[in-house]
Amino acid sequence: MRRILVTGAAGFIGRHTCRELASAGHQVTAVDVDGPRVMNMEGAGITSDIADVTEDGDVDDFVRVHLPDAILHLAANASVPRSMSEASADAHLNIVGTVNVLEAAAKYGVRNVVCASSGGAVYGAADHPLTEDEPQRPACPYGAGKAAAEQYMRYFAEHRGLCVTALRYSNVYGPGQNPDNGVVAAWRRLIVEGRNVTIYGDGTAVRDFVHVSDVVAANIKALTGSDGFMPFNIGTGVGTSLNELARLMGAPGITYEPPRAGDLQWNVLNCARARRLLGWTARVSLKDGLESLR
């Protein structure tokens, strides 16, 4: 049994991960700024704490008090459109929040930290499956913030003795996702209501959709830690156009709108490093994953 502290625990990926960690026998401390939601997570193997990762005093307190064996840092703004309109708030949460967690981990000797990053936004535009060695050309504040946070991860690994893993998720979907933070969840709500889905652009944009259960498995494998700083792409390596996604989901119709700033035309991840070094591979096909949501 290990003591695992999870920030952003009341979020979509956090809830799934905390439950899986607890069911595997670990002692989980679920931390989130949303008090009612995180307190509702308490149960066998899960305790909760209410804190804001952008407040360095809060972070210092929960790391000092709970003193975990490892930290899984998931607290973040995950909305590209929101980052476009609120770049400062996005940076405050995604950069400052990450630095606060890393600083407290170094201060209290928690060597193993796993942080959520982005497999699309940090790279920017591309036309081929992306490896972790690709140059980073973020096309939105969200991507710029995640890329900057990774540089702090590298610093804390190289100069403060931490083992830091960055998991660059592709487009995560699955049960319980907020419709405001994922195209699959947003479209599912519209389809249930018998309404058209909305596509920004002509629908040929390609995404790599990975099921939350596969992301949870990657989170848990990464908690074993490795020396220094290491980023991993976490996706399926399979591209699906938005037009094809609408067909697979059974959309009654499509409303096309002009492309949005910050949206990528093509984003698929090469996950060979995760297979080789983490022993992880995505197992849920998009077809099966969508069927599980019906």
- The tens-digit pLDDT sequence of the chain (294 residues) is 799 999 999 999 999 999 999 999 999 999 999 999 999 999 989 999 999 999 999 999 999 999 999 999 999 998 888 899 999 999 999 999 999 999 999 999 999 999 999 988 999 888 899 999 999 999 899 999 999 999 999 999 999 999 999 999 999 999 999 998 899 999 999 999 999 999 999 999 999 999 999 999 999 999 987 789 999 999 999 999 999 999 999 999 999 999 988 888 999 999 999 999 999 999 999 999 999 897
Cβ atoms of residues 120 and 239 within 8 Å: no
Q: How many residues are recorded in the chain? A: 294
Coil vs helix vs strand at 254: strand
Task: Give domain status of residue 269, yes or no.
Answer: no
Around Cβ 230, how many Cβ atoms within 10 Å? Answer: 20
DSSP string across 23-35:
HTT-EEEEEES-H
How far separated are the first and last CA of the chain, in Å rounded? Answer: 35
DSSP β-bridge partners for residue 110: none
- Decide if 150 is inside a domain: yes
Instruction: Please indicate, yes or no, if residue 218 is contained in any of the structural domains.
Output: yes
SS3 192: helix
CATH code for the domain in which residue 14 is found? 3.40.50.720
Q: Is residue 127 part of a domain?
A: yes
Domain contains 89: yes
Q: Is the separation of the CB atoms in 31 and 48 below 8 Å?
A: yes
- d(CA 36, CA 9) in angstroms, rounded, equals 12
Residue 281 lies in a domain: no
| All residues at 6 or more sequence positions from 260 whose CB lies less than 8 Å from its CB, including other chains | 81, 84, 200
Q: What's the confidence (pLDDT) of residue 159?
A: 97
pTM: 0.96
142 assigned to active site: yes
- Residue ranges of E strands in 187-260: 197-200, 206-207, 209-211, 229-234, 240-241, 254-257
> Comparing C-alpha atoms, which of 91, 143, 148 is closest to residue 119?
143
- What is the predicted pLDDT for the residue at 56? 95
Report CA 104 to chain centroid distance, whole Å.
21
Q: Report yes or no: 53 and 97 within 8 Å, Cβ to Cβ.
A: yes
Distance (Å, rounded) from C-alpha 121 to C-alpha 263?
Answer: 9
Measure the CA–CA gap between 294 and 292, rounded to whole angstroms.
Answer: 6
User: Which residues have C-beta within 8 Å of that of residue 24, sequence separation ≥ 6?
Assistant: 220
Nearest CA to 54 out of 106, 90, 17, 15 is that of 90
Catalytic residue among 108, 123, 142, 173: 142
Domain span including residue 81: 3-172+210-234
Give me the pLDDT at residue 213, please: 98
Amino acid 48: pLDDT: 96
Whether residue 257 is contained in a domain is answered as no
Nearest to 2 by CA among 79, 110, 89: 110
The residues with which 198 forms a beta bridge, in sequence order, are 255
Domain assignment present for 40: yes
Q: Which residues contact 109 (CB under 8 A, 6 or more apart)?
A: none
Q: How many domains does the chain have?
A: 1
Instruction: Report whether 27 contacts 7 (CB < 8 A).
Output: no
